[in-house]
């Protein structure tokens, strides 16, 4: 731990990690996946909570409406690798889930996903967000979340982000690793935060078709209303206000929910340096992001 009580970053199987995501590793690695489990995978701050709420409503909104008003999202969709002292372990919460399917969240890079999920041929929804907005969101999250490493100032933070010295490792390897996996493993739906912002209804239809769910236009419209940014921000079961380790006075979990907020953070010089580095890091990938819409 660092002096402020913040966790320290270390190398874990080639990825920058903190103890809160590795302390329960044996159980994570040996997690017994079921064929109908649905894994929601993202680099941190790419839209995990948004897609988790959408999937929870699509599957259980009609038959178990009390779920959405009584259980915080991190209990409905457990975070597989989390092992923070004051919070239930992700593997235990997942084992306790009585729903079918089980919706499970992870931020692990593709090479660290427990083998059970591949063996069971589970469906996986990956959400990616453009690097600049992702970095801004992660910076504010690290400021307010006491179980994340201290981010330092914005200028030093972007350097760390570019070097991959952020929890769960380099954004670049995460998004491209999952993108490549999708080329050979057909049960991955690769989504973009920017597309969700542009047309949530259309992206919900993509989700439904991937998952083989039939919903009416009215149902989808009602879900779309429930998962709009302002609705989720005001909803204590979706906005993380019930979790003890975050200081919303520093920054709320539901912060801005926009594409292009990076323009309020990057200086011209930072942007040029970031673009140059990005070009190098992403030159072998066909993956394309939108930094504005």
Write out the catalytic residue numbers: 107
| Site residues (CB under 6 A) for ligand PPS, limited to 124-153 | 133, 137, 140-141
At its nearest, how many Å lie between ligand PPS and the CB of residue 129? 8
What token pair was written down for 232? 């989720």
**Cβ-contact 150, 157 below 8 angstroms:** no
Considering only CA atoms, give the Rg of the chain: 18
Distance CA 281, CA 162 (A): 9
| 46: contact with ligand PPS by CB under 6 A | yes
Stretch that binds ligand PPS, among 2-10, 61-69, 156-164, 223-231 (CB under 6 A): 223-231
**Helix ranges (DSSP H) in 46-89:** 48-60, 65-70, 73-76
| 167: contact with ligand PPS by CB under 6 A | no
Rank residues 204 and 212 by Cβ distance to ligand PPS and give the closer one.
204
Q: Which residues contact 110 (CB under 8 A, 6 or more apart)?
A: 41, 174, 177, 178, 180, 181
At its nearest, how many Å lie between ligand PPS and the CB of residue 257? 3
At its nearest, how many Å lie between ligand PPS and the CB of residue 157? 14
Q: Which of 164, 160, 132, 163 is nearest to 265 (CA)?
A: 132
Q: Which residues contact 251 (CB under 8 A, 6 or more apart)?
A: 140, 141, 143, 144
Distance CA 9, CA 17 (A): 5
Rank residues 255 and 281 by Cβ distance to ligand PPS and give the closer one.
255
Rank residues 101 and 257 by Cβ distance to ligand PPS and give the closer one.
257
Q: Which residue is nearest to ligand PPS (CB)?
A: 257
| 91: contact with ligand PPS by CB under 6 A | no
| 106: contact with ligand PPS by CB under 6 A | no
| 254: contact with ligand PPS by CB under 6 A | yes
| 192: contact with ligand PPS by CB under 6 A | no
Q: Which residues bind ligand PPS (CB under 6 A)?
A: 42, 44-50, 133, 137, 140-141, 227-229, 232, 254-257, 261
């Amino acid at each position: 731990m660092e002096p402020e009580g913040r966790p320290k970053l270390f190398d874990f199987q080639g990825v920058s990690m903190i103890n809160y995501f590795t302390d329960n590793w044996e159980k994570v690695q040996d997690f017994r996946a079921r064929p109908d489990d649905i894994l929601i995978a993202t680099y941190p701050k790419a839209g995990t909570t948004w897609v988790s709420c959408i999937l929870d409503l699509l599957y259980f909104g009609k038959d178990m409406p009390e779920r959405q008003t009584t259980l915080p999202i991190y209990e409905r969709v457990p975070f597989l690798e989390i092992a923070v002292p004051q919070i239930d372990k992700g593997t235990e919460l997942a084992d306790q889930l009585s729903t079918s399917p089980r919706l499970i969240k992870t931020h692990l890079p593709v090479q660290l996903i427990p083998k059970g999920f591949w063996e069971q041929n589970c469906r996986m929804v990956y959400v990616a967000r453009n690097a600049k907005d992702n970095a801004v969101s992660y910076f504010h999250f690290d400021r307010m979340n006491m179980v994340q490493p201290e981010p330092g100032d914005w200028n030093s933070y972007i350097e760390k982000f570019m070097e991959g010295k952020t929890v769960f490792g380099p954004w670049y390897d995460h998004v491209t690793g999952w993108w490549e996996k999708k080329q050979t493993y057909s049960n991955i739906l690769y989504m973009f935060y920017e597309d969700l912002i542009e047309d949530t209804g259309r992206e919900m239809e993509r989700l439904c078709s991937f998952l083989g769910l039939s919903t009416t236009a009215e149902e989808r419209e009602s879900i779309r209303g429930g998962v709009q940014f302002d609705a989720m921000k005001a909803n204590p079961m979706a906005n993380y206000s019930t979790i003890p380790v975050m200081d919303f006075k520093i920054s709320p979990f539901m912060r801005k929910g926009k594409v292009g907020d990076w323009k309020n953070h990057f200086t011209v010089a930072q942007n040029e340096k970031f673009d140059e580095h990005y070009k190098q890091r992403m030159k072998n990938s066909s993956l394309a992001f939108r930094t504005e819409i």
